[in-house]
Amino acid sequence: GARENEPLLRKILHPKEAFTLAEVLITLGIIGVAAAMTLPSLYRNIQYKNLETAFKKTYTRHSQALMSVKADMGVDNLYEEIVYYDKEKGIYPREAEFKNAYYNKLKIVGRCKYSKPIRNYNNTADAYVTAYTSNETDNSKPVIMALSDGTCCRVRVTSGQINIVADINGAGAKPNKIGHDIFVFNVNAKGMLEPAKTSKYYTEDELEDLYGEQYPYKAQAGNPCSINSKQGGNGMGCAWFAFQDVNPDNNEEGYWRNLPK
133-185 pLDDT, tens digit per residue, is 333 444 345 579 999 999 999 999 988 899 999 999 999 999 999 999 999 99
pLDDT of residue 133: 37
**Three-state secondary structure call for residue 214:** coil
Are 135 and 159 contacting, i.e. CB atoms less than 8 angstroms apart? no
> pTM (2 decimals)?
0.80
Q: Confidence band (pLDDT; 50, 70, 90) for 202?
A: very high
For the chain, the straight-line distance linking the first and the last C-alpha, in angstroms and rounded, comes to 74
pLDDT value at 232 more than 70:
yes
For range 225-237, the mean pLDDT: 96
Count of beta carbons in the 10 Å neighbourhood of residue 76: 8
pLDDT of residue 5: 57
Q: Which amino acid is at 91?
A: I
C-alpha span between 67 and 153 (Å, rounded): 17
pLDDT value at 240 more than 70:
yes
pLDDT of residue 130: 56
Evaluate the CA torsion angle 131, 137, 139, 145 in order and state its sign.
negative
Radius of gyration of the chain (CA): 27
Are 140 and 104 contacting, i.e. CB atoms less than 8 angstroms apart? no
